[in-house]
Structure 1
Amino acid sequence: MKIRDQAAIVTGGASGMGAQTARALAGAGAMVAILDRDPGAASRLAAEIGGFAVVCDVASEDSVSQALATARERHGPARICVNCAGIAPGKRIVGRNGPMPSADFQRAVMVNLVGTFHVLAHAAHDMTALEPDPETAERGVVINTASIAAFEGQIGQSAYAASKGGIVGLTLPAARELASSAIRVVTIAPGLMATPMMDALPVEVREGMGAQVPFPNRLGQPDEFASLVLHVVGNPLLNGTVIRLDGALRMPPR
């Protein structure tokens, strides 16, 4: 599917991989709505790329519904939806102070998994009203973000890994169901990426983490994630699959 002149939505679009994806889509000619909880950062990026900022908490279905309605009024129904919103909590199941509070586990699942579902469902509903693309016959594509933690979750990542594993499990049945509406669903599972969360770590820690990657022997860059997003949008045969973006890294237990 072509990108130029298409409406696109990027959740978590104000920073990290989401921000670079918004830049890449805008650079390819899309009309980009940046959905994020940080209105200031979203507005600054929107001004930079000629996009549109919408405040959204993906864990709230009402917030997602309202945000997509606002974006729809501005750009029309989106054919391209990229889910980058997420959190990465770290806590052991049994720590020094006892069991992990259920609320901490639920928060990770609500933001990462349920939030992804909220956006997927509402964006796909909008896409069903669109005319099929004359070249590829598709109505739209939803690209979700999981993590290699879905496959090799480390100690202290139980909530995060479970939430991302849910996104992996959602991919194929969603793609099968939405195939009748000519809507594709693809998930990208990044490895160790140079995101704002990584920036908070000391340089030597970041370098040590990058050294774990077989090749290239470094952290992944947000623009490499964004490049893959553009390829997925443009390749109609990519559907119902999870693509690892990790430099052949397989995470150790800790």
Structure 2
Amino acid sequence: MWLIGLGWSINDYYAGKPKSITVQKKEDKNVEKKKAGEMTIVALGDSLTRGTGDESGKGYVGYVKEEISERAEEKLQFLNLGINGQRSEQLRSQITQSEVQRQLKGANFVFITIGGNDLFRGGQGLMDMNLATINETRKKYLDNIRFIFQEVRKTNQDATIFFIGLYNPFIDLDEGKDISKIIRQWNYESAEVSAEFPKVVFVPTFDLFELKVNDYLYSDKFHPNAKGYRLIAQRVASLMTW
């Protein structure tokens, strides 16, 4: 019963049907060109990119902005294109949209969080730990992120991509160790795909939540809270150079 209830909670916040996103076009026709004195960051992905679970609504993207604003001399431009519930095949489709590509052309950095909805499937993944199913899901997911990296790199050869790894919010459950094994393998193969492309940095988060997971989770026991998002943001910001 607890797992079923958690599944409903996850479905509401993390694996709900994503809404289509419309990016408002700017009047400046040269938005795709990087401007001197400006630094543009485009964030893609799921509810972690949107900041679900952070009551301030900032999420890790907002906290990264705070972290680097104190150090950057450039004017910062952030564009958050994350969609709640998005899976890798949906991000694969989003990345081909002409307006998204137009925004990516002008980016100095690209942040991506994706994969949690693929793996946990709205909570169903917790109740169905069939390894054959998980392996097939992971294979499709890896194909999708490889395509996503290829599309971003074709659109923008210079931007540094930060690809955020998965953490395990279920460490304290009886099945926590088994779930951790699956997530570590998932992260390892994601990092290997990232390494195939220039200027793609895989950012691990598993260790950040491993010892005190409940201190960094929202009340749904799935998404990060403000403290959890700050941990992710601090790690991303520490890796950024310009």
For the aligned residue pairs, the C-alpha RMSD in angstroms reads 4.3
Aligned to 1:76: 104
Is 1:24 matched with 2:63? yes
Question: Structure 2 CA distance, aligned partners of 1:81 and 1:119?
Answer: 16
Aligned to 2:201: 184
1:226 shift after superposition: 2.2
Q: 1:146 to 1:175 in 2, by over 3 A?
A: same
Residues 80-137 of structure 1 deviation map (CA, whole Å, 9 limit, x = unaligned): 1331552495999xxxxxxx64569847984xx568636632331123222325xxxx
Question: Structure 2 CA distance, aligned partners of 1:32 and 1:127?
Answer: 16
Q: 1:231 to 1:123 in 2, by over 3 A?
A: farther
Aligned to 2:229: 222
Contact 2:87 2:114 in 1 (8 A): no
Question: Structure 1 CA distance, aligned partners of 2:219 and 2:136?
Answer: 21
Q: Which has the higher contact order (CA 8 A, sep 6+)?
A: 2
The partner residue of 1:132 within 140, 145, 158 is 158
SS at match of 2:82: strand
Q: 1:57 to 1:142 in 2, by over 3 A?
A: closer
Question: Structure 2 CA distance, aligned partners of 1:121 and 1:31?
Answer: 22
Q: Given the two structures, how large is their TM-score scaled by the length of structure 2? A: 0.54
Contact 1:89 1:160 in 2 (8 A): no
The partner residue of 2:146 within 118, 121, 125 is 121
Q: Which has the higher strand share?
A: 1
Q: 1:224 to 1:102 in 2, by over 3 A?
A: closer
Residues 3-57 of structure 1 deviation map (CA, whole Å, 9 limit, x = unaligned): 93132213223313796123235655322211222xxxxxxxxxxxxxxxxxx33
1:228 shift after superposition: 2.0
Question: Structure 2 CA distance, aligned partners of 1:84 and 1:194?
Answer: 18
Identity of counterpart residues, as a percentage? 7
Question: Structure 2 CA distance, aligned partners of 1:33 and 1:124?
Answer: 16
Unpaired runs of at least 5, structure 2 = 1-36, 70-76
Question: Structure 2 CA distance, aligned partners of 1:166 and 1:19?
Answer: 29
Equivalent runs, 1:54-93 vs 2, <5 Å: 56-58=86-88, 61=89, 63-70=90-97, 72-73=100-101, 75-76=103-104, 79-83=109-113, 86=116, 87=120, 89=123
1:128 counterpart letter in structure 2: R
